Amino acid sequence: MSDIQQGRTGRETCRRIERRSSAPVGQARAEAAPSRLGGLGLLIALMVTVMAQDASCAADRTRDLTELSLEQLGDIEITSVSKREQRLADAPASIYVITKEAIRRAGVNTLAEALRLAPNLQVARINASQYAISARGFNSATANKLLVLVDGRSVYTPLYSGVFWESQDVPLGDVERIEVISGPGGTLWGANAVNGVINVITSTAGASVGTQAQASAGNLSRAVSLRQGWRFDGGGALRAYAKYNQREDSERASGIDADDGFEKLQLGFRSDLDAAGGTLTLQGDAYKESISQTNAADQRHHGGNLLGRWVRTLDDGATLNLQTYLDRSWRDIPGVYTTMSATMAAWPFCRHRGVCTGPTRSPSTSTNFRRSRR
């Protein structure tokens, strides 16, 4: 067997292992078909086995990347720049792609921390729960010149057109890639994309069949997540997850606790099915969180979203996309305000040979209710 054939065989083995498990090295995890999960003892044994196998595969993947040319590295496919698939090297924009492998190696457990991997973003943690994330300077907790999308759903709040980063999260093991565009993107994406676009793209449900458990713990934070995936006999797949994060109070320079501890529980699902000659995607998330405050009751936040998308490839090569989503959130900050907001959007568009021939912006409606408390 030649060296090339051996390399291909090793990569195929690693891909099989990666499909069974994608949790970060150094964190407890397990991936197995649901029918083979026989108890806690077997789960622990699988966790140790997969970690050892994955460490070997990580080294192989590193060697593979070093053997690629600059042209091959530019062959990564992206979709955020022109709203169509294209090679990274052909994209007419400054763009950085955070890959699934980079997230796994970083060992982060929140979306905001994963964005630190992008050199074209400024990411600052304000306290135990809040982040300030922006591009091209002018960063603050209320920065609102950056469009953030999760699988095509805009996650800005109608309260100030920015993002509450403590409320936005996804299971990082299910993230396929994160595309970060530097510079204005308002022509395609609308007014929020003044300084750039962050597009979080998750993998299909069929890519996460089986069971994955992951946990991490430290002196200041703890996190645990569980994901289960199923494949249907008639076609299609479904995955569901639960994720819990908890972070202790941060410490001031004087050594006194800042009373800003954070606790969050999030549940969600995604289903990909064959329907009406195309692919139907249904996905949703729900979360509940609490944040400590000095001399006041804890902040309480909860919310949820539901998204539906139907994609069909036509005979002439054009692609028809129909998408709609509903996003609702409720925030109670004792002594300051209570706000409830809901955003709904729906739009169709058609791409013919890579050119959008329908609406590129989503007609959306949003409502916001706010009651001040003194």
pLDDT of 67: 66
pLDDT of 40: 43
The pair of structure tokens assigned to 59 is 């080294």
For residues 121 and 113, is the Cβ–Cβ distance under 8 A?
Answer: no
For residues 303 and 341, is the Cβ–Cβ distance under 8 A?
Answer: no
Hey, is 266 helix, strand or coil?
A: strand
User: Around Cβ 148, how many Cβ atoms within 10 Å?
Assistant: 22
pLDDT of 321: 85
pLDDT of 4: 37
Distance CA 67, CA 10 (A): 15
Distance CA 134, CA 146 (A): 6
Distance CA 129, CA 139 (A): 17
The pair of structure tokens assigned to 361 is 């912006």
pLDDT of 176: 92
Helix (H) or strand (E) holding 187, with range, is helix 186-189
pLDDT of 45: 47
CA angle, 167 then 170 then 171, to 5°: 135
Nearest to 245 by CA among 170, 134, 162, 338: 170
Reduce the secondary structure of 25-69 to three states and give it as a string: CCCEEEEECHHHCCCHHHHHHHHHHHHHHHHHHHHHHHHHHHHCC
Q: What is the mean pLDDT of each run of 10 residues along the chain (374 residues)?
A: 42 44 39 41 46 46 55 64 64 79 89 93 91 87 88 87 90 91 74 85 92 89 93 91 93 88 95 90 96 88 94 81 91 87 75 49 50 48
pLDDT of 319: 81
For residues 181 and 93, is the Cβ–Cβ distance under 8 A?
Answer: yes
pLDDT of 90: 64
